[in-house]
Structure 1
Amino acid sequence: MKILIIEDETELSDVIRESLEMEHFLVESAEDYRSALDKIISFHYDCILLDIMLPGGSGLDLLQELKDLDKSDNVIIISAKDSLDDKLKGLNLGADDYLTKPFHIAELTARVKSVLRRKSFEGKNFIELSNLKLDAGERTLQIDNQPIPLNRKEFDILMYMIVNKSRLVNKTALAEHVWGDHMDEADDYEFIYSQIKNLRKKLKENNAGVEIQAVYGIGYKLVQL
């Protein structure tokens, strides 16, 4: 799961990042309106933590931009402004939650997980497909009730494929989602191919009821067998 922190207070942003990374989220950040706009236009995020008061513009304008782009990124507003008008504007523009500063990092992390469960896992901690059970909180996979060890990237890829099970997943979108900004440092997609290869092998060896199929030149699709 990929999180974007849009926050100009560097110290707070670093604390939030550290906390979320301990929960195995992939975390990116932006400190002003322009850099945040560039990121939300270019990438998809599972959850955006959005401050309203930013250098160069308003977080509410970024919410409007997400709405205009018809993007489905979950948004939690984190703001020092505790006004009813701002809350209503944010929620009406599509924000999923509103948290007023100062707040406990543990509460923010819990709200992030709650938003992700509501959107991707229908309020549950896990998702089931065929004979697979993926636990988002514990980051574990079971096939026919037997635990299957996955590394961090394999788990992220499988969860992304399951959440998007009815879609053809473009390899660029997959790379951006699982590796974030670091994908720009790669010369090719070999780092994806190796993780996909290992994951497909584990699924096949354990008689999974799903298969990740390659669509030549485009990406991958998860199909039930």
Structure 2
Amino acid sequence: MNEPVEALLFDLDDTICEYCRPGSEILDLAFEDVGIEPVFTADDYYAVFEDHVEDSEDVVENRERCFAALAEEAGHDPDVGLAVADAYEAERDQTNVQWLPGAQEALDTLRERYAVAAVTNGGPKMQRAKMRGLGIDDHFETVVFAGYDVAAKPDPEPFEMALDAVGVGPERAVKVGNSLKNDVAGAHNAGLRSVWIDREGVPNPDPEPHHRIEAMDELLDEPWA
């Protein structure tokens, strides 16, 4: 793989950003935003999460179904649960995200050098809210919501869709992400080079990435060069 790199494909969650408050705190804020006392807890939500997965297109719809059912069970109109779900989404996905160390500098700098795309296993509504919260919704030439637009990572299809959009072949592209299973394996399945963000010092990663970094700002040294 000696071809010069022209495109970088980035993961989003735990690569560029992370949540900064727990779900229980976000739920309390959502009830406060709606103007009612809490009628169910985060543990109640987690307990029924799987009950509505098959009937939901994404995690946002599943949350709405869960909250509506829990509100009704507590003696309230299901619309109360839907209002809380809307407030929860706004708090969690737009105001509750923060940059990971080195990520902002790396993304701001590298988008001037390369074509950049995002390939993320996450629903469009939820992931776009995170990008708006960080102010990066216009930073990528394309965003592929794997598992929604196309198959989920590590299937090669989402990587191929992103590369088609930026007009770069896999031999000239690098995938950057924190997941060995999804990002590294997916990159290799699609014929890309991989850069894995290893914050734990894993001794024998499987699969073996082409390059390993501890923080995003190490990308500025262009380890693939």
Of the two structures, which has the highest relative contact order with CA contacts closer than 8 Å and spacing of 6 or more?
A: 2
Which entry has the higher C-alpha Rg, 1 or 2? Answer: 2
TM over 0.5: no
**TM-score normalised to the size of structure 1?**
0.28
